[in-house]
Structure formats: structure tokens, C-alpha cells
Amino acid sequence: MALSTAAVALAVLVGTSVVVYHELGSTLTARVLGRARTDAARLARLVDTGGGEQHGTAVSLTDPELISQLAQPGAETAVLNGAGHVIQTSTPRLPPLLSALAPACLADGHASKVIAREAIACVRVGPASRAGGAIVSVVPLADRDETLAAMRGVIAVALGGAFVLVLGLAWAATRRALAPLARIARTAGAVGAGATHLRIRHVGPRDEVGVLADELDRSYDRLAAVIADQASFLAEVSHELRTPLAASRAHVELLDGWAGSDAATRGAALVGLRRSIARMTRLVDDLLHVAHGEGGPGYTHAAVMLDDLLIEVHNEACSLARDVDVVLRIDECPVVSGDRDKLYQLVTNVVDNALRHTPPGGTVRLELSAAGSEAAIRISDTGPGIAADVLPRIFERRFQGASGSGRGGAGLGLAIAWEIARAHRGGIAAHSAAGRGATITVTLPVAGAVEALPAAHA
């Protein structure tokens, strides 16, 4: 960047210098030509054309001493006759230079030109009708050339100095301008290496670099929060899995020991083992759902009979519940369109949440009904209820303040239930009062006509 800046500056300076040099050369040349013209005109007025004295001077054009009388310091003089031939000259080298100028001078009365580094001016003596000849003044361009040579030296030195100066200033300015970017790069590398506590903390103007630094700091804050949240989440999930794993291990050891020969104890151990496996399965399903994003992994759409689904959920809940009654009531048998496995996960998550927060001796009730184009699944419990200040947040991921039962989870079940309901164009809502239990209602659009309730289900 510094080299590019210096190169551009040098190109501008070179262009400017060329223009200035050319203009100076033209000005000096015009000045020398002007002197030659002035000298030639003044000398021509001193020559007698045969018509009498001119300005009080009568010098014959043919006087052999004319050159000596017309001689000028620093200039050379020549006298031409009416035919354009050189009569007299102060130096023998002039005649070749004058041959190209004489015809135009005698015809027009004057002429000037730069030839072979000489400024030559010619003025006719007398009118064109009876021209007696012409006076030629030749002024060397040596002074002009010396001035231009000195100018070239000055320009070369000035360009070199300007290039070095601009390069140094551009280098310093570039380093200063890029210093925040270097700091940003170092911080980004350190954060990428694991030092998520580091921040850029840019001090300076709110230019593009400042905005970038501030945005990166905010991104690092979010990254640190996500990493901390993930660590906490993994700890919670590990704790959640540890309990059913430990219980499963205990049941397996019990079955492998003396309980293998006792039918009652073996049955209780198998029920406990089934309960632990079901709990781990639900947690793993929730984790898979989170890993695939909010939309869930590959939803399918098929006809789902909600009554059969709730019967299956009820049977599983009955086998897993500890000292909690699970009651099922089916008023209608609606059919919805959706992913049966995901709908099963939705209802199971809500029921599992209700079982977690229902004390021994309580009741969890499942109800299925339909009204118009909507099917409704209500899961209610007789737990401690949900405080009004936390009720709007129970469907947030990782939220674990739904009740005061002390039996929390990873905070995923209700959040995933909400996502599944939304993916099926349905809804989910909670109603509760502290100390009076909670009711969670899931609504889903009906796919077909509502069937009559079979007697067997009743």
C-alpha cells in the first residue's frame, strides 16, 4: 500500500514536472526569440535604405564596416542584400542557417525561427517594393539550455526526495492505519486458540475499522456465551444421563444377582430398567432434534390417528410412573397430517414434564378432543403449578424454572414440543396457578372428518 501510494505520488509529480519543464523551456525560448526580434528590428532602423536619413542615422547597407557598427554583445549579426544573399556576417557559420529564413523575411518583412540551438530573427530593410536587404540577429540558446539543465537537476533531486518522503509518510500512515487490523488479527487468533476472554477494545475513530472491531467484540461476547452455555448444557445432559445409567446398571446387577431367581423382584427390576432406558431414549431424541436445528430432521407427512398415539403414550407413562396415576380420556378420534414419531415425541415430552413435577399420590391426566377443524390434546397435573412470572418462558430452550419441585431436566423437552407443534402448523400453550397444578394444551389442525368414538375406547 505504501509503495502504491508513493508510486502514484511519483507519477503525479513526474507529470507535473514534465509540464512545468516544457512550459519553462517554451517561455525561455520565446524570450530569446523576442530578444533576437527586438535586436533585428532596432538594427534595421539604423540602416539607410537610400531614401534619406532614418532617425538621424545614415548607415549604408553596403558599408563594409556595417557589421562592426551593428555588433551586439552576446549576439551575432548578418546582413542580406535584396536577393537574400549574405553580404556581411559576424561569423562564417551563419550562411547555412540563413538560407531557409531569407525568402520569408524579404517577402513578409520579418521572420524568426529556432535553428540548430540558435534563435534567429530577420527584419527587412525598406519596403517590399524596393527592399534593400535585411538584418539578421542570431542569439545562442546557451543560457536557456543551462537554465533547463539546472532545472532538470532540481527536478530529479526534488522527485527523488519527494518519492522517499511520500514513501516514508505512506509507510508510517499505512502502519498506523493497519495497526488496529493487526491487533484484530492477533485477537482473533488468540480467540480461535481458546482465549475466548480476550477482546479487541478498539480505541479510535468510528470508521470502518472501528465498526469492525466493535462488531467482532460483540461476536466474541456471543461466542463466549455460547461456549459457556454449551459447557453448562453438556454438564446438565451428563448429569441427566448419569442418573438413568446408574439406575440401569443397578437393575442389571440386580438381575444378574439374586433377583434373577425371584419373579417379583425380577419384574420390578425390569420395569425400572425399562423406565431408565425410556428416559435416556427421550433425552437422546431431544439431543438429536437440537443437533438438526429447530426444523427437526426430515419431517414426514402422513395421516396420524391421535387416539392410537395417546393410548401408546398412556401405556408407556403408566409403566414408568412412580406412585402417580396416569388417566386417559378420549372424547373424539381426530386424524391429523404429520410426522407420527415427532408427534409422539411432542406428547411424550409434555407428559414426562408433568410426571417430573407431580408429587407421589398425584394425577396426570391426558385428554383428547376435537372442535371444528382443530384437535386438542390436554395434559394436566396436580403438581405445584407454575408461577406467573415464569409461565411465559417455559417453552424456551434450557429454561429450568417451571416449578419448585426440584426435579429439573436439561430444559429441552417443552421447547422441542413447541417447535414440533409449530412445524405441524399447530400451537401449544400453558395455563397454571401456583399450588394448583398446570395444564398444557396442544392444538393441531385436523386432516379429515372427526370419527365417532368407538365403544371400546370409551
69: domain CATH number is 3.30.450.20
What confidence tier does 60 reach under pLDDT thresholds 50, 70, 90? low
Average pLDDT value for residue range 250-260: 73
Mean of the pLDDT values across residues 124-144? 80
Mean pLDDT of 90-114: 78
Pairwise CA distance, residues 33 & 38, whole Å: 9
Give the contacts of 280 (CB within 8 A, at least 6 positions apart): 241, 244, 245, 248
Indicate if the pLDDT at residue 109 is higher than 90. no
Q: Is residue 235 a part of any domain in this protein?
A: yes
User: Which residue did the predictor score with more confidence, 414 or 69?
Assistant: 414
To the nearest 5 percent, what fractions of the chain are helix, strand and coil? 55, 20, 30
pLDDT at 259: 64
The residue count of the chain comes to 458
| pLDDT band at 266; cut points 50, 70, 90 | confident
With respect to residue 195, please indicate whether it lies within any of the assigned structural domains.
no
C-beta of residue 198 within 8 angstroms of C-beta of residue 220 = yes
Q: Cell 402422513 appears where?
A: 302
Give the mean pLDDT of 216-231. Answer: 85
Task: Give me 32's grid cell.
Answer: 530569446
**141 and 278 together in one domain:** no
Residues 8 and 139 in one domain: yes
Instruction: Report whether 123 contacts 37 (CB < 8 A).
Output: yes
Whether the CB-CB separation of 199 and 217 falls below 8 Å is answered with yes
> Is the whole model's pTM more than 0.75, yes or no?
no
Within a domain: 295: no
Of 234, 264, 288, which one is at a domain's C-terminal end? 288
Q: Please tell me whether residues 244 and 355 are part of one structural domain.
A: no
Q: What is the mean pLDDT of residues 372-401?
A: 84
Per the structure, the complete domain to which residue 284 belongs is given by 208-288
Q: Which of 115, 130, 148 is the last residue of a domain?
A: 148
**337 lies in the same domain as 307:** yes
How far apart (Å, rounded) are the C-alpha atoms in residues 268 and 247? 12
- pLDDT > 50? residue 56: no
Quick check: is 185 in a domain? Answer: no
* Whether 354 and 268 share a structural domain: no
List 119's β-bridge partners, or say none.
114, 139
The reply to whether 451 falls in a domain is no
Instruction: Specify whether 75 is located in the same domain as 119.
Output: yes
3-state secondary structure of 450: coil
Could you tell me if 31 and 144 lie in one domain?
yes
Same domain assignment for residues 13 and 126? yes
The residue from 262, 288, 314 where one domain ends is 288
pLDDT tens profile 147-187: 999 999 999 999 999 889 988 888 888 888 788 888 889 88
Domain total in the chain? 3
CA–CA distance, 87 with 95 (Å, rounded to integer)? 10
Give the residue, 431 or 92, on which the prediction is more confident.
Answer: 431
Q: What confidence tens digit (pLDDT) does each residue in 319-330 have?
A: 777 789 999 999
CA–CA separation, 337 and 339 (whole Å):
7
Instruction: Look at 1 and 55; give whichever has higher pLDDT.
Output: 1
Calpha distance 120→108 (Å, rounded): 15
Distance CA 220, CA 197 (A): 8
CATH of the domain at 384: 3.30.565.10
- State the residue for C-alpha cell 475499522: 209
pLDDT for 458: 33
Q: Clarify whether residues 128 and 38 are in a common domain.
A: yes
Would residue 201 count as lying in a domain? no
Which amino acid is it at 199?
R
Is residue 458 included in any domain, yes or no?
no
Please check whether residues 311 and 430 belong to one and the same domain. Answer: yes
Q: Select the more confidently predicted residue: 187 or 48.
A: 187
Strand-pairing partners, residue 429, are 441
Residues 74 and 34 in one domain: yes
The CATH number that applies at residue 231 is: 1.10.287.130
pLDDT in tens, 398-444: 666 544 444 445 567 788 889 889 989 999 999 987 778 899 999 99
Q: How far apart are CA 374 and CA 336, in angstroms?
A: 9
Quick one: average pLDDT of 282-299? Answer: 65
